Amino acid sequence: MKWTKEWKPLAAIVAIFLACYYLPVDFLKGSERLQNAVWESFYLLQDYAREHVLLCLVPAFFIAGAVAVFVSQAAVMKYLGARANKVLAYGVASVSGSVLAVCSCTILPLFAGIYRMGAGLGPATAFLYSGPAINVLAIVLTARVLGPELGIARALGAVVFSIIIGLAMHVIYRREEMDKVKAQADLPEPEVARPLWQNALYFASMVGILVFANWGRPAVQEGLWHAIFSAKWQVTALFGMALGVMLVRWFSVAWWKVAMAALPVAVLALLLPQWPVVPFVAGVLGLSVLTNTESGEMDDWFSATWGFAKQILPLLLIGVLISGVLLGRPGYEGLIPSAWVAGAVGGNSLWANLFASVAGAFMYFATLTEVPILQGLLGAGMGQGPALALLLAGPALSLPNMLVIRSIMGTQKTIVFVSLVVVMATISGLIFGTIMG
């Protein structure tokens, strides 16, 4: 037996056996906290399925599939590869979240798409961090609810973080990155099926659907943000219509097929205006059938989209269940008492900032929910430094997020990426807490 290959599965088997052997069944049977934690995991899974899978992940899967099919590897290498212009590559990656406004799970299909197409590890991880972290709505809400100091610190910290983390990942794995560049140096220039501006508009239509379908209700029921929220589904529909026109004009899809896919959406939108998710689901199903029954690029698009969904979605759901058992939902407790968390993040000590960073990294935050959670923690005595540390680590990471990242770029790179986020969030919290103190 070659122990160098077999010791890991053997150790896993022994660990599982010991856990089963010493499982405290009698204690767990009467544990009210365990029972509550199990229910909280299911409630969190239900919330996740209702709020994020259909409106966030499904559009993101289609965008990631489109990246894999319609964006050439040479183009990705040119703008985001290891040899790309660093200012351009990291500049684009570091501000992407201001457009996407997605959570730590929705960014994963998009990250997987550009990483597998040849994007450098540095720009790809900068994009991975910035996507959920640099959310204009979340930063504005942070400034209004938690104070302008925290809002400004969060905005600046997130942009700087994404660049530094990306550069650090590139430096740590620079030898591997250079080998990848050499292997791809002789790739032939691919034939261009359509001009760049057409592809750009095609992607813009899908990003528009993703952004406006998930536009959250603002805290103030007036002004620009509220006006956009009131018209979010009409704007989403316009982007969907634009996508349909492009499929006919530029992708050679028969107009009657697009019309057949759009007809149920229009009918359901008229019949059920109070349930806009229903026509949205009909649109997703129509697009899936349309692409799957076509040949060439359209079928490749569906296959790539389905491939990302099969890889990512099961891991996310497992991660959400585990997160729910341990930490519960906002306002509800899992196995770990919320009083422990509140008591560990008071003041501005190294431990308080480190604990806030680690806790934030493993907790699952839906978009914008981190603000009311922090509002409650600050009221319970949380320090300003740990608050910033949690804001910088929490939205960009979560346990479900880590499980998927590991499947994309491996265990070691995932550990390094998470460690960089935690360490930098801790240091930033210490500095901010000292300034504010």
Distance, CA of 52 to chain centre? 10
Return the pLDDT at 257.
93
Return the pLDDT at 82.
67
Q: Locate tokens 């590897």: which residue?
A: 73
Please report how the helices 121-133 and 148-172 are oriented relative to each other, as an axis angle in degrees rounded to 10.
160
State the Cα angle at 81 between 79 and 87, rounded to 5°.
55
For the record, the structure tokens of 67 come out as 């990246």
Q: What is the largest CA-CA distance in the chain?
A: 70
CB neighbourhood size of 99 (10 A): 16
Nearest CA among 313, 315, 314, 319 for reference residue 399? 319
pLDDT tens over the chain, length 437 residues: 444 556 666 677 778 777 776 666 665 566 676 777 788 788 878 877 777 778 888 888 898 888 878 876 666 767 777 667 778 788 877 776 556 656 777 788 888 888 887 788 888 898 888 877 776 667 776 787 788 888 888 888 888 888 899 999 989 998 887 777 666 555 555 565 678 788 889 989 998 998 888 887 776 777 787 888 889 999 999 999 999 999 999 988 999 999 999 999 999 999 998 999 999 999 999 999 999 888 888 999 999 888 888 878 887 788 778 877 877 776 677 777 767 776 777 788 899 999 999 988 888 776 666 776 777 777 767 888 998 998 888 878 888 889 889 998 999 999 999 999 999 999 999 999 888 87
Burial (CB count <10 Å: 0-12, 13-18, 19+), residue 55: buried
Query: What size, in residues, is the chain?
Result: 437
**CA–CA distances in Å: residue 163 to residues 75, 129, 233, 296:** 21, 9, 34, 38
Q: Contact at 8 Å (CB) between 160 and 427?
A: no
Residues 6+ apart with CB under 8 A from 178: 82
Return the pLDDT at 1.
44
Q: Hey, what's the torsion of the CAs at 90, 96, 98, 104, to 10 degrees?
A: -110
- Give the separation between CA 292 and CA 302, rounded to whole angstroms: 6
- Give the separation between CA 235 and CA 328, rounded to whole angstroms: 35
- Give the separation between CA 121 and CA 380, rounded to whole angstroms: 40
For the record, the structure tokens of 30 come out as 């009467």
For the record, the structure tokens of 197 come out as 């501006």
Cα-Cα end-to-end distance for the chain: 60
**CA–CA distances in Å: residue 18 to residues 24, 31, 68:** 12, 21, 44
Return the pLDDT at 2.
47
- Give the separation between CA 163 and CA 294, rounded to whole angstroms: 41
Return the domain boundaries, the chain.
54-253+294-436
Return the pLDDT at 436.
82
Residue 398: helix, strand or coil by DSSP? coil
CB neighbourhood size of 413 (10 A): 18
Nearest CA among 362, 350, 346, 344 for reference residue 402? 362
Return the pLDDT at 31.
64
Residues 6+ apart with CB under 8 A from 66: 202, 203, 206, 301, 304, 305
Q: Where are the beta strands (DSSP E) in 299-372?
A: none
Return the pLDDT at 3.
47
Residues 6+ apart with CB under 8 A from 144: 151, 219, 220
- Give the separation between CA 137 and CA 129, rounded to whole angstroms: 17
Phi first, then psi, for residue 416 (nearest 5°) are -65, -45
For the record, the structure tokens of 27 come out as 């204690």
CB neighbourhood size of 102 (10 A): 26
- Give the separation between CA 131 and CA 398, rounded to whole angstroms: 14
For the record, the structure tokens of 327 come out as 């930490």
